[in-house]
Amino acid sequence: MPLNSLPPWPPSLPSSAHLQHLQTLAVTHALAHGFTHLPANPSDPPTHATAAPLSLFPSPFPRHLFELATEIQTVYNALYARIALDWGFLDRVMGGVAKVDSFQGELWRGWKAVREELVQPLQLGIFRSDYLLHSLSSLAPLELKQVEFNTISSSFGALSQKASETHRYLAKETDMFFDSSPYLSTFDNYPLNDALTSIAQGLAEGWAAYGRKDAVVLFVVQDGERNVFDQWALQYELMERHGIKTVRHTFSELDNLVQFDRNSKRIYLPDPLADLVQPREVAVIYYRSAYTPTDYPGPGEWSTRLLLERSRAIKCPSMALQLAGAKKVQQVLTEPGVLEDFLLSPDRPDVGFGKGAGAFTQEDVDNIRKTWIGLWPMDNSEAGQEGYRLAMTQSSRFVLKPQREGGGNNIYRSDIPQELKRLEQQQHQQQQYGARDVMPREAYILMELITPPDGVGNWLVRGGDNKARKADVVSELGVFGVALFGPEGVVNREAGFLMRTKGRESDEGGVAIGISSIDSPVLVDVV
- Catalytic annotation present for 405: yes
Q: Answer yes or no: is 291 a known binding residue.
A: yes
- Catalytic annotation present for 99: no
Q: Answer yes or no: is 330 a known binding residue.
A: no
Q: Answer yes or no: is 411 a known binding residue.
A: no
Catalytic residue from among 300, 406, 503, 510: 406
Q: Answer yes or no: is 153 a known binding residue.
A: yes
Side-chain half-sphere CA neighbours of 394 within 13 A? 10
Q: Answer yes or no: is 404 a known binding residue.
A: yes
- Catalytic annotation present for 155: yes
Q: C-alpha angle 47/49/54, rounded to 5°?
A: 175
What is the spatial distance between Cα 517 and Cα 84, in angstroms, rounded to a whole number?
32
Catalytic residue from among 401, 442, 481, 520: 401
Q: Answer yes or no: is 406 a known binding residue.
A: yes
Catalytic residue from among 63, 82, 128, 280: 128
Q: What is the dihedral of CA 376, 381, 387, 391, to 10 degrees?
A: 130
Catalytic residue from among 5, 59, 150, 517: 150
Which residues have a Cβ under 8 Å from the Cβ of 172 and sit 6 or more positions away?
Answer: 178
Q: Answer yes or no: is 402 a known binding residue.
A: yes
Q: For strand 123-134 and strand 469-485, is the pairing parallel, antiparallel, or unpaired?
A: antiparallel
Q: Answer yes or no: is 309 a known binding residue.
A: no
* Sign of the four-CA dihedral 80, 102, 410, 375: negative
What is the spatial distance between Cα 216 and Cα 210, in angstroms, rounded to a whole number?
10
Q: Answer yes or no: is 1 a known binding residue.
A: no
- Residue 94, Ramachandran bin (φ over 0: left; ψ between -120 and 50: alpha; else beta): alpha
Q: Answer yes or no: is 410 a known binding residue.
A: yes
What is the spatial distance between Cα 499 and Cα 477, in angstroms, rounded to a whole number?
5
Side-chain half-sphere CA neighbours of 10 within 13 A? 27
Q: For strand 521-524 and strand 444-448, is the pairing parallel, antiparallel, or unpaired?
A: unpaired
- Catalytic annotation present for 309: no
* Burial environment of residue 174 by CB neighbours within 10 A (0 to 12, 13 to 18, 19 or more): middle
- Catalytic annotation present for 128: yes
Q: Answer yes or no: is 340 a known binding residue.
A: no
Q: Answer yes or no: is 109 a known binding residue.
A: no
Q: Answer yes or no: is 252 a known binding residue.
A: no
Q: Answer yes or no: is 225 a known binding residue.
A: yes
Catalytic residue from among 63, 248, 312, 327: 327
Catalytic residue from among 500, 509, 516, 517: 500
In degrees rounded to 5, what are phi and psi of residue 493?
A: -160, 160
What is the spatial distance between Cα 202 and Cα 215, in angstroms, rounded to a whole number?
16
- Catalytic annotation present for 150: yes
Q: Answer yes or no: is 272 a known binding residue.
A: no
What is the spatial distance between Cα 32 and Cα 26, in angstroms, rounded to a whole number?
10
Q: Answer yes or no: is 442 a known binding residue.
A: no
Q: Answer yes or no: is 199 a known binding residue.
A: no
Catalytic residue from among 106, 148, 419, 424: 148
- Catalytic annotation present for 340: no
Catalytic residue from among 129, 135, 155, 160: 155
Q: Answer yes or no: is 327 a known binding residue.
A: yes
* Burial environment of residue 110 by CB neighbours within 10 A (0 to 12, 13 to 18, 19 or more): middle
Residues placed in the known binding site: 128, 148, 150, 152-155, 225-227, 231, 288-291, 327, 401-410, 412, 447-450, 476, 500, 502, 508, 511-512
Q: Which residues are annotated as a binding site for substrate?
A: 128, 152-155, 225-227, 231, 288-291, 500, 511-512
| Catalytic residue numbers, as ranges | 128, 148, 150, 155, 327, 401, 405-406, 500
Binding positions for ATP are 148, 327, 401-410, 412, 447-450, 476, 502, 508
Q: Which residues are annotated as a binding site for Mg(2+)?
A: 148, 150, 405
